[in-house]
Structure 1
Amino acid sequence: MGFGRRRKVVPFRSAGELDAMAAAGAVVGRALVAVRDAAKPGVSTLELDAVAESVIRGAGAVPSFKGYHGFPGSICSSVNDRVVHGIPSEEDVLAAGDLVSIDCGAILDGWHGDSAWTFGVGDDVAAEDEDLSEATRLSMEAGIAAMIAGNRLTDVSHAIELGTRAAEKAHGRRYGIVDGYGGHGIGREMHMDPFLANEGAPGKGPELVVGSVLAIEPMLTLGTTDTAVLDDDWTVVTTDGTRAAHWEHTVAVTDSGPRILTLRPE
């Protein structure tokens, strides 16, 4: 008798495993809120790192970034033209009007949560920076909405791209979709296959099934799509010096629609 080729699916978890991932994700959410509350003019990104690590360890979890391929921090703190993977530093002191992207991960009972958001420091944040962060958030939410059983991997990519284009129309400006970076599978490791692009044609790649989990993370700029990595071998910056934003949630496919596993306290 003949057997059909096994269909490829995005790795999936049981309902109980999703609850365990949501517990890890809730720790990340609390850490991000604490960091944002602490992010005032005159505060260094190293101080923000200590805030995040204290929340994570206080919850009985472990920072997943710390020591990852040698990364020294518990958060990535990427200010202004830094897109992602900024290293927290004593010298990196926040000023009013800065645009800060904070990415954070935690491991609880072996499961990973991974989430990021962008916000302005102080009261004088430029309107275009607020628009940029909002556009990135809306792109992420469009991707989250595509996390339904039966969709394919690139249906999520396409939805993220359409979210960006819709924000461009609403804001009357262009955004650069950062080239070469995107989301990923996640579970008992932080970065797992498949890679999730933030743009592209729909209908390709492995299928989403109930329990499939992806970290959805668009990165947009006010200009270029091109980036460079600084001499620290981590920090990714825009090549034209324009500001960047980064939003991310860990999201599961369920019978009742997408489930965000990295919820933040209100």
Structure 2
Amino acid sequence: MHFAKGHGTGNDFVIVPDLADERPLAPADVAALCDRRFGIGGDGLLRVAPSSEPGTKWFMDYRNADGSIAEMCGNGVRVFARYLLEQGLADGPEIPVATRGGVKHVRLEGDQFSVDMGPATFGPTSQAGLEGFEWPGQAVSMGNPHLVCHLGETDELDALDLHRQPRFDPAVFPDGVNVEFVVGTAPHVRMRVHERGVGETFSCGTGACAVAAVALRRAGSDTGTCEVDVPGGTLTVTVADETIHLAGPAAIVAEGTARL
């Protein structure tokens, strides 16, 4: 099968075109392709499939690296749009993409892509646990679940071992959760994230949106712009009254043929 490899601020994806919707991938196939030693390697897989959603041509079939289904991926949808443009499958500057989290409108702005991610929905307060420690956190949905935990010191953030899934309350998050750890105050914060079904990643677009929404609220405002530093770069999140816009880079770095 043909594939491409792309990333958004270091959050990397295997991209598989299935333009006639002839080859849905089993979870084991996705895991094999995303394996960093025995496959191509990626935090997730983007299958390009035809869309049945009115006003859209392509559906982003996104899977986590372990093959599990995820509702949405903010970095992935920007990489998906970059791939569509480079392959001549879409015209710019605005590209509607069907996802499990609804239709996302991606816009090319200079050398970056901006995505209308929809609003953040705040849930209950909860907590995350790691290595015998517990941190309070705020549940936020960006179409997928997040738990945003604000830490006190940068050194505390740097010392975290995120190879393992942090503990969380399954009653609050029955389908698992992406856990973000944050330092700083709006309009500029820094985060690390453990993504469900993947592990620690260099970036998480939906996570950055959740973090910015929480950081702005902590600073006394429900709207505004927040720069979010992730290990792979910086994302710009603009929180408006009814939606959130995520802006950042997206690049295709390789193409080739893979065997399963």
Task: Give your verdict on TM over 0.5.
Answer: no
Q: TM-score, normalised by structure 2?
A: 0.28
Q: Please state which structure has a larger fraction of its residues in helix.
A: 1
Q: TM-score, normalised by structure 1?
A: 0.27
| Higher-RCO chain (CA-CA 8 Å, sequence separation at least 6) | 1
